[in-house]
Amino acid sequence: MLKILSRILIFTFIITLNACAGFKKVDIKDRGTPEERRREAVEEGRGIGVGSVLRRKSTTYEFSTSNPMWRASLETLEFLPLNTVDYSGGTIVSDWYSDSNSKNNESLKITIRFLSNEIRSDSLKIITHKKVCTNSNSCKTNVLSPNSKINSELKSVILKKAALLKKQDKQNKKK
């Protein structure tokens, strides 16, 4: 029994070595300079090139503090209690808010979705929910039109603030 088990083990070992294609001796001098070898490895997907990463001028990812649309939206909505703020998901959702002077027990909930980091009107989608409650605690909730006064004013204020923040950032970088 021990002989059979040892033969199976040896056979498995030989197959495993054969599957790995054995060992291949390569003269490193034939492969070029270290930079050429790194570039070749990156192109073949065998590794990363640290030098090329360090030489990049900029990235496409922006942190929330450097994104003017995000900062302008938070500054505009700072008077609201916020329920969800997710930069990676690109959403800001407020909690229900009612002004102390509101009639008919009206409350608003505002959702901002970022479709792009560019400062354009189609980069934001603003959804406003309006809740009206009667004295008997029955409430009705409606979604306001995307072209409603509140949505268009919010979008306008956010875009103006974002443009100003971007302009200030450019001026600060020049200094």
Q: What is the pTM of this model?
A: 0.60
The per-residue DSSP string of 94-125 comes to EPPB--TT-STTEEEEEEEEES-SSSSGGGEE
Structure tokens at 19: 């599957």
Give the three-class secondary structure for 23: coil
What string of pLDDT tens digits covers the 175 residues of the chain?
A: 778 888 888 878 777 766 665 555 556 556 677 777 777 766 665 655 455 445 444 445 455 667 899 999 999 999 899 999 998 888 999 999 988 776 678 899 999 999 988 899 898 999 999 998 887 778 899 999 988 999 999 999 999 999 999 999 888 887 6
What contacts 112, CB < 8 A, 6 or more positions away? 73, 77, 91, 92, 93, 124, 125, 126, 127, 154, 158
Side chain identity at residue 56, one-letter code: R
Domains and CATH numbers, the chain: 2-55 (no CATH), 64-174 (3.30.530)
